[in-house]
């Protein structure tokens, strides 16, 4: 379990993380989502003590990470900064870490097998592809058989097979009862992997919700109605729980009434309809709506697609 309480990080004038509080629980994959520059990596570095918090606290399984007698058994991390000797083999890289942290040699073989690097484990890690490097990073994170795992953008730059592999691995680790915390700037990726979401923007908490809640927000659908008598139709459909907007001539977007209700009322009033179609927001659109004001880097004229920062 990871508990973040009123955590803040300031770099000079810039506030990277701003009074953030949330808890990451065991047994489910928790996605840590936010646009580029939202403060995800900074938060993750503070979890493992690589960055000192300006204020607030963060504990891993009840204690500060550095205060655990065997930290690698508590938490394994894949962070963005790579620290593998280019000339050292994957096997030797893992052996050195295991030897200096009291982890048995057989665990090195186990994690190499687990991440599928057995065929290249004796080759220099400097020649590894991005995907192989990510697998080695994950092997390193899992070396201590930790209760808690954090991974910063693990699918970045991976091919579809690698992405699928990581998704399944994370779900398996969570099903084993571990705490799994994984960052991404892609809602679509998190929708396929996580059961719970912590969303931040400009260092602040925006949402801490089960993924199902996001999905239900996406399901709040509207109905697009096209009619040559849209003004009369709008008057006819108006009501206390009905919202009607119009973005183009002759087209209404109606929420609060079903397709059937709109069709029947129009028919009773003799109003001709050219189109009556359900509209559903995608998860990506819900995420973009939530983070619209928090996107740090945006090209001129890109306001309409703010949040789409992949």
Ligand X SMILES: Nc1ncnc2c1ncn2[C@@H]1O[C@H](COP(=O)(O)OP(=O)(O)OP(=O)(O)O)[C@@H](O)[C@H]1O
Could you give the CA distance from residue 195 to residue 90 in angstroms, rounded to a whole number? 32
Q: Are strands 29-33 and 196-201 parallel, antiparallel or unpaired?
A: parallel
Part in contact with ligand X (CB under 6 A); list of ranges 40-48, 56-64, 101-109, 276-284: 40-48
Assess 310 for contact with ligand X (CB under 6 A).
Answer: no
251 three-class SS: strand
Binding ligand X (rule: CB under 6 A), the pick from 4, 20, 29, 38 is 38
Candidates 6, 11, 235, 278; binder of ligand X (CB under 6 A) is 11
Choose which of 37, 137, 144, 146 interacts with ligand X (CB under 6 A): 37
DSSP 63: B
Residue from 22, 31, 34, 89 binding ligand X (CB under 6 A): 34
Percent helix, percent strand, percent coil in the chain, to nearest 5? 40, 25, 35
Q: Least distance from C-beta 155 to ligand X, angstroms?
A: 12
Q: What are phi and psi of 234, to 5 degrees?
A: -60, -45
Stretch that binds ligand X, among 20-28, 30-38, 127-135, 162-170 (CB under 6 A): 30-38
Size of the residue set binding ligand X (CB under 6 A) = 13
Residue 51 buriedness (CB in 10 A; 0-12 / 13-18 / 19+): middle
Helices (H), the chain: 40-47, 71-74, 90-101, 105-114, 130-142, 160-175, 187-193, 211-219, 230-237, 259-268, 283-291
In the complex, least distance from residue 225 CB atom to ligand X, rounded to whole angstroms: 40
Q: Is 185 in the site for ligand X (CB under 6 A)?
A: yes
Query: Does residue 79 interact with ligand X by CB under 6 A?
Result: no
14 touches ligand X by CB under 6 A: yes
**Residue 127 in tokens:** 């020649």
73 binds ligand X (CB under 6 A): no
- Closest separation in Å from C-beta 17 to ligand X: 7
Point out which residues bind ligand X (CB under 6 A): 11, 14, 16, 34, 36-42, 185, 296
């Amino acid at each position: 379990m990871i508990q973040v309480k009123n955590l803040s990080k300031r770099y000079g004038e810039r506030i990277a993380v701003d009074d953030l509080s949330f808890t990451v629980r065991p047994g489910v994959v928790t996605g840590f989502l936010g646009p580029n520059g939202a403060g995800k990596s900074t938060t993750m570095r503070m979890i493992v003590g690589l960055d000192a918090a300006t204020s607030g606290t963060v504990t891993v399984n009840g204690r500060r990470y550095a205060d655990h007698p065997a930290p690698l058994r508590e938490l394994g991390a894949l962070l963005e900064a790579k620290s593998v000797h280019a000339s050292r083999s994957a096997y030797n890289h893992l052996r050195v870490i295991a030897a200096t942290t009291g982890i048995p040699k057989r665990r090195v073989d186990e994690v190499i097998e687990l991440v599928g690097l057995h065929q290249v484990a004796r080759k220099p890690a400097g020649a590894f592809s991005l995907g192989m490097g990510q697998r080695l990073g994950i092997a390193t994170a899992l070396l201590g058989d930790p209760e808690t795992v954090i991974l910063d953008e693990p699918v970045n730059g991976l091919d579809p097979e690698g992405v699928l592999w990581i998704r399944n691995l994370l779900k398996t680790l969570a099903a084993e009862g571990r705490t799994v915390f994984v960052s991404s700037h892609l809602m679509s990726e998190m929708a396929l992997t996580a059961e719970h979401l912590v969303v931040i923007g400009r260092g602040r908490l925006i949402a801490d919700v089960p993924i199902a809640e996001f999905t239900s927000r996406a399901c709040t659908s509207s109905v697009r109605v096209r009619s040559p008598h849209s003004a009369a139709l709008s008057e006819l459909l108006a009501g206390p729980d009905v919202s009607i907007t119009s973005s183009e001539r002759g087209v209404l977007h109606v929420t609060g009434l079903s397709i059937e209700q709109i069709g029947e009322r129009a028919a009773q009033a003799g109003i001709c309809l050219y189109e009556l179609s359900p509209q559903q927001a995608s998860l990506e659109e819900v995420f973009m709506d939530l983070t619209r004001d928090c996107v740090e880097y945006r090209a001129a004229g890109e306001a309409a697609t703010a949040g789409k920062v992949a």
